[in-house]
């Protein structure tokens, strides 16, 4: 079917529902409204006005001919953005910053002459990017802490539940369901530590001028270097930041974007690992992600319960991990004090990286909150493999009963191979215990052998490790972040 031509009147139902243009799945399907607003045009332009007010106030305080009346006028119109005027002006001048300077001036005739005084476009553009990323990181952090909190509840609940551990996805010495959850948690804690470090190091660009030399401000202040030096710290304080980067070209170093996206990619790695484990466990029917009453698992196979949310985590995580390449390329190819080949890329890679990780964390929280554990299936799988894992204990009991360790070791090896063949080639249950009981070299009855079949004997320190980890690492972390706990996540699809 041919696509109808674009019609600005938007009168037909086709256009009312916006089906005539591409819409980002990150906005329509995955990211929260809160994260979407942080990267919205409205948020950007309101931040521009905050920055212009902070600049004007600071310039007044440092002695430039800016009046309190002008400041008051700017503040009075701060939130009443005349978008129609700015849009029309941009059609004429082809410059978004100057269009909004003009529109603000239309609303503030007394102050229009001092708006953006001495500044370049990067004063509002780059400082806003920093502010937006900082707020987005705060939301990511909040969700990350809540996922950790939910995993902590899960780990505590199942700290004593023995389960087969796997190396190479082959059955290995048992662990507990709760201990495995601490592995997922530990990676998220590392991500949180990285996030806090990077977020704590972020500074504003400040007012650095066209090449970072602050020449325009030195001129404004009649060569008074002391006043120029005070400008950036005073602006930063007004905006709630500890300071500005001490040196820059026209822009802040694009390595900042790279460092931030690396944090998101790290979270994506951890989430992907978790989603892989859940998908494998769901295949084993040991643990399942939430499945709603009316949810359809497959269009063809009505009985299926596909791990769709975990698969979506993996899919979005792949996107974020690949997205981190964008700011790396941008940072490494900037020329001297700046080039503009960063702009289009930044407009895509930074917001969409955050929108994707926001969706990932909502999915992660939703999955953990509704995980279903099937202890009977876990026990069945455990008991099918446990005789192999109990052979060391069995051998020690046989030695106590008078056997020779070296001879018994060889017999257990031979009998284990026989039992393994029975399972794999003949489809039998594991009959290793019966084979050992029938071998006079061991001098042990089947009942005596079965006494070694308590899975809890083989989980080592796992339950204690969970409790120690929760007590020493997680509970203090959650206590320190009590103010952000209590989130739940509703997913769109």
For the chain, the C-alpha Rg in angstroms (whole number) is: 31
Angle at 406 between CA 404 and CA 409, to 5 degrees: 105
For this structure, is 298 an active site residue? yes
Q: How far apart are CA 121 and CA 113, in angstroms?
A: 16
Q: How far apart are CA 219 and CA 182, in angstroms?
A: 59
- Indicate the length of the chain as a whole number: 493
Q: Six-digit token pair at 248? A: 């820059």
Q: How far apart are CA 265 and CA 35, in angstroms?
A: 17
Q: Six-digit token pair at 386? A: 């446990």
Q: Which of 12, 298, 322, 343 is catalytic?
A: 298
Q: How far apart are CA 399 and CA 406, in angstroms?
A: 10
282, 193 Cβ separation under 8 angstroms: no
Q: Six-digit token pair at 152? A: 């902590």
In 3D space, the residue among 338, 335, 176 whose CA is nearest the CA of residue 251 turns out to be 338
Under DSSP, the state recorded for 124 is: H
For this structure, is 168 an active site residue? yes
Q: Six-digit token pair at 242? A: 């500890």
Q: Which of 168, 283, 299, 479 is catalytic?
A: 168
152 CB neighbour count, 10 Å cutoff: 23
Q: How far apart are CA 476 and CA 468, in angstroms?
A: 12
10 Cα distance to chain centroid: 38
For CA atoms 242, 245, 250, 255, the dihedral sign is negative
Angle at 128 between CA 238 and CA 213, to 5 degrees: 80
Under DSSP, the state recorded for 482 is: G
Q: Looking only at Cα atoms, what is the longest distance across the chain? A: 104
Question: Is residue 58 packed enough to be buried (19+ CB in 10 Å), middle (13-18) or exposed (0-12)?
Answer: buried
**Adjacent-strand bridge partners of 106:** none
- What is the C-alpha end-to-end distance of the chain, expressed in Å? 27
**Adjacent-strand bridge partners of 373:** 287
Which residues form the catalytic set?
A: 168, 298
């Amino acid at each position: 079917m041919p696509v109808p031509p674009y019609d600005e009147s938007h009168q037909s139902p086709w256009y009312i529902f916006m089906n005539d243009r591409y819409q980002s799945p990150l906005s329509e399907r995955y990211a929260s409204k809160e994260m979407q607003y942080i990267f919205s045009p409205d948020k950007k332009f309101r931040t521009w006005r905050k920055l212009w007010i902070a600049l004007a106030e600071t310039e007044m305080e440092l002695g430039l001919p800016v009046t309190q009346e002008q400041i008051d006028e700017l503040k009075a119109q701060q939130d009443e953005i005349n978008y129609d005027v700015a849009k029309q002006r941009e059609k004429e001048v082809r410059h978004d910053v100057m269009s909004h300077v003009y529109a603000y001036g239309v609303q503030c005739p007394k102050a229009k002459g001092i708006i953006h005084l001495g500044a370049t476009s990067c004063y509002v553009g780059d400082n806003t990017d920093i502010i937006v990323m900082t707020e987005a990181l705060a939301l990511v952090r909040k969700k990350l802490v809540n996922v950790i909190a939910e995993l902590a509840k899960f780990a505590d609940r199942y700290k004593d539940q023995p389960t087969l551990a796997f190396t190479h996805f082959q059955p290995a010495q048992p662990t507990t369901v709760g201990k495995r959850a601490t592995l997922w948690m530990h990676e998220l804690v590392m991500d949180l530590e990285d996030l806090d470090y990077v977020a704590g190091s972020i500074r504003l660009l400040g007012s650095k001028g066209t090449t970072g030399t602050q020449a325009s401000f030195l001129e404004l202040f009649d060569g008074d270097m002391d006043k120029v030096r005070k400008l950036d710290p005073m602006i930063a304080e007004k905006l709630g930041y500890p300071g500005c980067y001490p040196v820059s070209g026209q822009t802040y170093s694009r390595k900042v974007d790279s460092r931030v996206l690396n944090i998101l990619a790290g979270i994506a790695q951890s989430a992907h690992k978790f989603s892989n484990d859940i998908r494998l466990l769901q295949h084993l029917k040991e643990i399942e992600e939430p499945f709603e009453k009316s949810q359809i698992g497959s269009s063809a196979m009505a009985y299926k319960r596909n791990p769709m949310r975990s698969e979506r985590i993996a899919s979005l995580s792949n996107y974020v991990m690949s997205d981190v390449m964008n700011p790396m390329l941008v940072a490494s190819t900037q020329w001297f004090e700046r080039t503009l080949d960063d702009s289009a890329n930044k407009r895509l890679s930074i917001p969409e990286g955050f929108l994707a990780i926001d969706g990932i964390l909502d999915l992660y929280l939703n999955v953990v909150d509704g995980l279903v554990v099937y202890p009977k299936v876990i026990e069945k799988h455990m008991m099918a493999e446990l005789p192999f894992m109990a052979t060391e204990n069995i051998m020690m009991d046989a030695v106590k009963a008078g056997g020779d360790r070296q001879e018994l070791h060889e017999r257990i090896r031979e009998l284990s191979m026989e039992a393994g063949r029975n399972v794999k080639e003949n489809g039998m249950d594991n009959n290793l215990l019966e084979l050992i009981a029938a071998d006079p070299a061991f001098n042990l009855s089947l009942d005596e052998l079965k006494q070694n079949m308590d899975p809890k004997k083989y989980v080592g320190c796992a339950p204690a490790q969970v409790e120690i980890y929760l007590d020493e690492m997680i509970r203090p972390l959650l206590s320190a972040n009590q103010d952000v706990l209590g989130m739940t996540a509703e997913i769109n699809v």
